[in-house]
Every structure is written in C-alpha cells, then in structure tokens.
Amino acid sequence: MCFALFMIMLDNTVVNVALPSIQADLGASLGGLQWTVNAYTLTFAVLLVTAGRLGDIFGRRRMFLLGVVVFALASGTIGLAPGEGWLVAARSIQGIGAAFMMPGTLSIIVNAFPPAERARAIGIWAGVSSIALAVGPVVGGWLTEAVSWRAIFLVNLPVAAGAVTVTLFAARESRDETVSRRVDLPGITCLTAALTALVLALIQGNAWGWGSDRTLGLLGVSVAAVAAFVAVERRAAAPVVDFRTLGSPQFVAANFVGFVVTFGMLAVFFFLALYLQNIVGYSPLETGVRFLPMTLLIAAGGPVAGRLSSRFGPRPPLVAGLLLVGAGLAWLSRLQVGSTYELLLPAFVLLGLGVGLVISPMSIAAMAAVEPAKAGLASGTLAMVRMVGATFGVAALGALIATLGRSDLERSLPGLPDAVREQLVAGLGSGAGLERAPAAVADAANRAFVDALAAGMTLCAGAMAVAALVAWRFVGPPPAARRPTPGLRALPEPS
C-alpha cells in the first residue's frame, strides 16, 4: 500500500515544478496550468467517497488494483499528450484511478494490523507519503531538465507494475461484512453532482467571476444536490455514507484539519513554484532542490508522529504541528520580489516540521473514530475532504492574487489601458506577456504578484490557528489525563 501511495503522492509534487515547462511547450495560460492540477483534483475529490465505499462493499484490494491500472494507463496517455486539451482530459482520468487507489492504501492497512500496531503502521504510511513529497520536486525538476516534463508521467508505468505485483502477493482481500452488496446509486448520483458542481465552481470562479451567473448557478446546484443527498441517504437501505458512523466530533475535527492543512500546503507548493522559477529565476531542478528541506522534514516526521500518537494520543503532535505550519506561513508573509533563499529556508523548516507532525495523527484520529469495518468509507471521506481543500486553496489564493494584484497595478500603473491591465492580472506569477514588456511594467506585475502572495500566506496562517483550536477541543483529552482517548479504541493506553 505504501508502494502505491508513493506513486500517487509523487505525481502531486512532480507536476508543480514542471508547470512552467508545460506552459512553454504547450503554450498554456495560467488558467491552463491550474487546470493541469485541478482536472486531476476534480475527479479525484469527487470519486473518493464512492470509491472507498465500493471497496468496502466489493473488496478493497479489487478496487485498489482497478485504480492502479487506470492510473497507469492515464499516465502513459499524458506522456504522449499533443496539446493542452489532451493533457487535461487524461489528467482527469488519472484522477479517477487515484480515487480508487487512495482509500485502499489506508483502509487495507487498518484492517491488516492489530490495534496495538495500527498507529505505528499508519505513521509509516504517512512517512512514505511524505518521502514521495520530498523526492517529488527534485525528481520532477531533474526529469524536466534532463529528459522532458513528459517523463514525470511515463515514470509511473514501471511503478504501477511493481504496485500490482506487490499487492497481489502481499495484501489480502477484505470488505465490510456488515453491509449488503447493494450499491446506493441515487446517493452516489447526488453526491457526485454536489461535489462536481462545488469543485468546478471553485476551479472556475476566478475566470468566470465569483458573482457571475455560472459560478452562482454551480454553487446553487451543489447546495441542492447536498440537500437531495441527505434526504436520499436517510431513507436508503444501504447508504453510501452512514452519517451515524461518520458523525463523531473527532472524525469531523480530523477532516476539518485535513481540509485546512491541504488548503494551505497545496497553495504554497503551487504558487511558490511559480515564484521561484518565474520571479527569482531558478530552473525546475533548482526549484525542486530548494523545496527539499521542507519535504525531507515532512518525510521524517510521519513515523515519529505515529509513535507519539501511539503513546500520547494524536492531539499533542497534531496541535503542535498546526502551530508550526502557521508559524511557517506567517514567516512567508514577509516575502518580497528581492527576497533571497535565506528568507525562505526558515519558513520551509517550520512547514516541514509542522506538516510532518500533522499528517499521521490526523489520519490516526479519523480512522480510530470509526470501526475498522468502515475503514474504506472513512478513508475515502478524509481523502475527499483533503482534495477539496487542495482545490479550494489554489482557487482561493488565485482569487486573492487576482483581486489584490489588480488593485496594486491600478496604483502603480495608473495610465495603463484596462485591457492590458487585465492581461497582466491573468498572467500574474506565470511570466506570461512580460517577455517584451517595458521593465517598469514587468517590475510592477512581479511586485503585485509577490505582495498578493504574501497576503495570502497571512490568511493561511490564520486558518492554521483556527485548525489548532479545533484539534485541541475535539481530538481526545490532554495526555496528562492518562486515560484512553474517546474514539481511539485502537490505540494502546499510554503507560
């Protein structure tokens, strides 16, 4: 499971450092670059809960292997993409495969390990995920420079072949024996419609305008579909989501933390990759190397946080990690056009330490709040919330950059025609349209992007503080209480 999870997480980070190269090769706009990330996120987020539930019903290993095959075929297709449209379509299919893989990686582990070993196993699972995050920017940068950006997708083919082989020999089949094999098609339809409309509105809100008819219409469809989903699930004999199972305060709190952390970190990876390459001038490989202190610390923190959670419960490392992430984001709010790597390094260290302490306890808290038989549903829900958080993070920070950047350009370039200014706003951070622009215009556009990005880091830091308060209130008792944590029956009592 860790072997396959490595492939999923690697694909998330290698793409970010290759975005400028994809832009140059295919002529993609900033919106096109966002769709390269968000087409994958859309199908991934929408199908995670459904895929997790289907694994519970029909067999987690079976659904997992299906996801690996689809993911590999889509990766090969992306590697041959002749244009932006082909790339985006194949990325959406790749997201479908990832949606069937991701819940299985955690739910199979939960069912394979006894309670006394489960927290440590999840810690290793989180650590492997973080190792992929660590090597992703470097591998992506090296492959982009030495071979092509296409190689970052083609490399998934041998990894997928290894994942299938290992899974067939090492993982046993499991399913939720407490439910029938009936599929809740009305519930799946309503849930898919609600999530598709929501995520699409988040992705397109910046391009369409947040007050446009299309954006508001999609949000209205999402709200209506959620209401229909709740009504359908209350009457369903075999609901795709059992609200009684997933309604514990600890499970809800863990999902809130997952949303906020992914919201902040994906926005950081996406926009800082653009900053380091298009503003500072680093190559893709140089960008990946400079992310390395953060991602290596994330990798090291997963197993450590798993052991701490096993001994003291997930609350202490979870709260400490969120506060460290908030501190790192607050540090990044000092970002300027002329900032050197010496300014970024302390922030990357804080972010790496913080995220390393968060991922494993967050997963442990969520999975321990439900029975192991419901592991597929719970892991799918957690992964879905995190992916929606990632989409929301990129969309929200993109909207903030466009709004603040437009205002900044109006002040710094008052005589600029509106059409030219809007073109600059659309290309903020991407370098688009600045190749032949006067130096004063290019400097103003770069400064507008960096100032807005710094303001976004302040917003994300505040969100981490709120998440830390939620985790402290709802994820188990303080370690000093020396008693089993409610909802953490699978964890041994601290000695």
In the predicted structure, residue 485 carries a pLDDT above the cut 70:
no
Highest mean pLDDT among 173-182, 217-226, 379-388, 429-438: 217-226
In the predicted structure, residue 238 carries a pLDDT above the cut 50:
yes
What is the distance, to the nearest Å, from the Cα of residue 264 to the centroid of all Cα atoms in its chain?
A: 9
Taking the C-alpha atoms of residue 454 and residue 87, their distance in angstroms, rounded to an integer, is 31
Q: What pLDDT is stored for residue 269 in this prediction?
A: 77
Q: What pLDDT is stored for residue 192 in this prediction?
A: 85
Q: How does pLDDT run across 335-389, given as a tens digit for each residue?
A: 888 888 888 899 999 999 999 899 888 888 888 887 777 777 787 788 778 878 8
Q: What pLDDT is stored for residue 463 in this prediction?
A: 93
Considering only residues 72 and 423, tell me which one the structure prediction assigns the higher pLDDT. Answer: 72
Taking the C-alpha atoms of residue 363 and residue 488, their distance in angstroms, rounded to an integer, is 12
Considering only residues 138 and 430, tell me which one the structure prediction assigns the higher pLDDT. Answer: 138
Highest mean pLDDT among 102-106, 132-136, 281-285, 349-353: 349-353
User: pLDDT grade, residue 320 (50/70/90)?
Assistant: very high
Highest mean pLDDT among 117-131, 236-250, 377-391, 458-472: 458-472
Pair of tokens at residue 382: 């957690």
Q: What pLDDT is stored for residue 69 in this prediction?
A: 94
Q: What pLDDT is stored for residue 484 in this prediction?
A: 41
What is the distance, to the nearest Å, from the Cα of residue 484 to the centroid of all Cα atoms in its chain?
A: 31
Give me the chain's average pLDDT, please.
Answer: 81
**26-36: b (≥16 Cβ within 10 Å) or e:** bebbbbbbbbb
Question: What's the alpha-carbon Rg for the chain, to the nearest Å?
Answer: 22
Q: What pLDDT is stored for residue 118 in this prediction?
A: 78
DSSP 278-310: III---HHHHHHHHHHHHHHHHHHHHHHHHHHH
Q: What pLDDT is stored for residue 495 in this prediction?
A: 37
Tell me which residue has tokens 């490392």: 317
Contacts of 413 (CB under 8 A, 6+ apart): 421, 440, 441, 444
Taking the C-alpha atoms of residue 17 and residue 291, their distance in angstroms, rounded to an integer, is 10
Tell me which residue has tokens 């090296």: 142
Q: What pLDDT is stored for residue 191 in this prediction?
A: 84
Q: What percent of the chain has pLDDT over 70?
A: 90
Q: What pLDDT is stored for residue 245 in this prediction?
A: 67
Q: How does pLDDT run across 52-75, given as a tens digit for each residue?
A: 888 888 888 899 999 999 999 999
Q: Which of 52-66, 164-178, 213-227, 233-247 has the lowest mean pLDDT?
A: 233-247
DSSP 37-77: HHHHHHHHHHHHHHHHHHHHHH-HHHHHHHHHHHHHHHHHH
pTM of the model: 0.75
Q: What's the average model confidence in pLDDT over 234-260?
A: 81
Q: What's the average model confidence in pLDDT over 94-112?
A: 85
Q: What pLDDT is stored for residue 156 in this prediction?
A: 87
In order of 174, 275, 431, the CA distances from 443 in angstroms are 58, 13, 11
Q: What's the average model confidence in pLDDT over 116-128?
A: 78
Pair of tokens at residue 46: 């929408």
Q: What pLDDT is stored for residue 81 in this prediction?
A: 82
**476-493: b (≥16 Cβ within 10 Å) or e:** beeeeeeeebebbebbee
In order of 397, 423, 454, the CA distances from 405 in angstroms are 11, 12, 11
Taking the C-alpha atoms of residue 330 and residue 308, their distance in angstroms, rounded to an integer, is 26
306 and 123 Cβ atoms separated by less than 8 Å: yes
Q: How does pLDDT run across 8-26, given as a tens digit for each residue?
A: 877 766 776 777 788 778 7
